[in-house]
């Protein structure tokens, strides 16, 4: 039971980030929301980092926290379309598969990706996060923005923003998982 809860927590942490608190005017007055802002500098060109987000084989190398695998990455990288991606917990955490969709709203090649993250079943149909055993306050969908900027030394600064988490607890959990995902992504750029 604890292992299954940990797997769910790691999954939630992978997807949801940790960052700054904002006052979201679209939400009911007085409600605070928390946004992830994560910035990394990768030892890779913007084109290479872009490929990590848009290529099925590349996504499978890094999506999910440490110990998790990505058995499914069906990329449909067009505005209005969606990628279906799966993260599988390690056996010691229950081996559960959790599917998500990334529905693209804006794409600027090698510079910017905007999408709405959502929970899904294996066929890409939307589901409630609670169906996966996640907390009831877990958002069903989250807007995400990724920007890439070349640095003077040939690397890439990537900033990722995820909007609208309802609690600091989800934020902290998410930050831990996201950091692990980005560590795995960085490892794919390592030069032999």
Write down the number of H helices and E strands in the chain: 4, 8
Sign of CA dihedral 114, 60, 5, 39: negative
Using 50, 70 and 90 to split pLDDT, how confident is the model at 145? very high
DSSP three-state, residue 112: strand
Using 50, 70 and 90 to split pLDDT, how confident is the model at 66? very high
Contact 180, 23 (CB under 8 A): no
Kind and range of the H or E run holding 73: strand 69-74
**What is the pLDDT at residue 30?**
59
Residues facing 126 on adjacent strands:
120
Of 35 and 26, the one with more pLDDT: 35
Pick the CATH number of 2-188 from 3.40.190.10, 3.30.530.20, 3.40.50.300, 3.30.70.100: 3.30.530.20
**What is the pLDDT at residue 17?**
39
**What is the pLDDT at residue 6?**
39
Using 50, 70 and 90 to split pLDDT, how confident is the model at 64? very high
Using 50, 70 and 90 to split pLDDT, how confident is the model at 51? very high
Question: 14: which 2 tokens?
Answer: 């992978």
Residues facing 32 on adjacent strands:
23
Question: 133: which 2 tokens?
Answer: 């055993």
For the chain, give every domain's residue range.
Answer: 2-188
Kind and range of the H or E run holding 32: strand 32-42
Using 50, 70 and 90 to split pLDDT, how confident is the model at 9? low
Contact 181, 65 (CB under 8 A): yes
């Amino acid at each position: 039971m604890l292992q299954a809860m940990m797997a769910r927590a790691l999954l939630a942490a992978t997807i949801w980030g940790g960052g700054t608190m904002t006052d979201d005017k679209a939400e009911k007055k007085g409600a605070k929301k928390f946004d992830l802002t994560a910035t990394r500098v990768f030892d890779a060109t913007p084109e290479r980092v872009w490929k990590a987000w848009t290529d099925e084989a590349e996504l499978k190398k890094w999506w999910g926290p440490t110990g998790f695998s990505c058995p499914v990455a069906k990329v449909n990288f067009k505005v209005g379309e969606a990628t279906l991606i799966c993260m599988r917990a390690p056996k010691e955490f229950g081996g559960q598969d959790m599917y998500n969709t990334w529905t693209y709203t804006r794409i600027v090649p090698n510079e910017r990706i905007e999408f709405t993250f959502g929970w899904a079943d294996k066929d890409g149909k939307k589901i409630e996060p609670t169906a996966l055993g996640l907390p009831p306050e877990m958002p069903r969908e989250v807007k995400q923005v990724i920007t890439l900027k070349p640095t003077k030394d040939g690397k890439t600064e990537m900033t990722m923003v995820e909007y609208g988490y309802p609690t600091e607890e989800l934020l902290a959990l998410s930050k831990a998982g996201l950091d692990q995902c980005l560590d795995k992504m960085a490892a794919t750029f390592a030069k032999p």
